[in-house]
Structure 1
């Protein structure tokens, strides 16, 4: 379908601030589930009406080609039904996003290996936002790829995410923290994961040489289960002199990992 300038000009006034915010977040993560969208944008509504309101909004955005359903992620329990739909930007959403942000928006191309990764990063963000609203931490910023990447000495470090946090310590002191996050879903071979650690150490040496005295961000690896956590811990322990910058935790509980002293 081709989208004309006339169509976009007629559509813009019909979109609410929430519509634009949904469009921005789906564009940022490339792919999100209906359930993730509901938790981000409809959590303030009474529980019985959240799903109904989200469904109505997403149907309207799909009709206007702001959003597009790209598949269905089968789930059970409370996440079943329309919350399992996967959404990406539709053709109108791509054009509108380009007009609202300097960040490039590209049409999502279905590629099975990337689906779980995109959804895991989106889930991490939603979980941290829920922790923010609950007062467990302050999520000051959340950068996704490629904006989380760092170029140095002709090389590129490619974290999955970079976060800035406001944290309150056990003794009541407030401070700011920064962390690179690697989402490990247990699908990468050990050799690939192992090469990540020297990359971070090389970037740390570069930063210390060029910005002495600046606190280096923590590097948090999030794994899907305890066995994988133990495996990553063993890899980290191979660099004992740098152990303080590396943290390993569970993907289902990123807040605990990020709040580790």
Structure 2
């Protein structure tokens, strides 16, 4: 049966039959939009024996796909050698309808008002979205290791926030992390494309204006802004742009290599 023919009652019945791991997979896909097979393994199958992780993941995802709860996209990542771990998954139409029912307290801001058939985006857009997903996975792994507690994570449009002037600040993600009694709130920019210095200046200036006006983010404070980049040359370009911004930019922004992002979040949290 196709998802379009699932009645609300049938969606509810389907949700009732989901395991805790099924629910967690759907929640995470609703949160970050796409996850690769490798990322799903690290999130939800990491505790299995190495000999059974891939087989179990493939079986679970095939079952969820059979109900249109998840959908494999046409484009894989990592090349032919990546195998099934390189497959990329999104919520299917039934999954989009099911997620808001999983937990009445769960924030479903990332869910579209009307479920629609997932489509495979271009390579650049997909890599950018998967990079945001990777940041989420790494934060979950840091929590698992006891380095922090991940209180909240939102991606893409779910992370956008009113700027107090009738517009929005549009980070790629936002997060709230804690260690002990300390909490830090972050807006996150995952910079992968080669934007001009002026485009970057205008983008970052919105955060400066937001902070200068005393605007508060989703966690009741003005978030810091974490800017991640793929390589050292780009890092120097970003830092050059940030250095020319007015106060409080010097206290607001942190620019790091993507691979060092979670380490930096933990470092700031422990200061």
TM range (shorter): 0.7 to 0.9
* Cα root mean square deviation, aligned: 2.5
Matched, 1:14 2:17: yes
Q: Where do residues 133-144 of structure 1 align in structure 2 (5 Å cutoff)?
A: 133-144=144-155
Residue 234 of structure 1 corresponds to: 240
Give the TM-score normalised by structure 1: 0.86
Q: 1:40 deviation in Å?
A: 0.6
Structure-1 residue corresponding to 2:42: 39
SS in 2 for 1:180: strand
Deviation of 1:188 (Å): 3.0
Cα distance change of structure 1 residues 8 and 160 upon mapping to structure 2, 3 Å threshold = same
Specify the alignment match of 1:130 in structure 2: 141
Say if 2:143 and 2:150, in contact at 8 Å, map to a contact too: yes
* TM-score normalised per structure 2: 0.84
Task: Write the distance in 2 (CA, Å) between the matches of 1:207 and 1:74.
Answer: 41
1:157 to 169, 191, 202: 169
Runs of 4+ in structure 1 off by over 6 angstroms are: none
Structure 2 unaligned blocks of 5 or more? none
Match of 2:121 in 1: 111
- Aligned partner of residue 71 in structure 1, secondary structure: coil
| Distance in 1 of aligned mates of 2:252 and 2:221 | 10
In the aligned structure 1, how far is the partner of 2:72 from the partner of 2:223?
Answer: 37
Aligned residue pairs: how many?
252
Distance 1:228 1:30 in 2: 26
Q: 1:68 to 1:215 in 2, by over 3 A?
A: closer
The farther-off stretch of 133-142 and 237-246 is 237-246
Deviates more, 1:224-233 or 1:93-102: 93-102
Q: Determine helix, strand or coil for the equivalent of 1:146.
A: helix
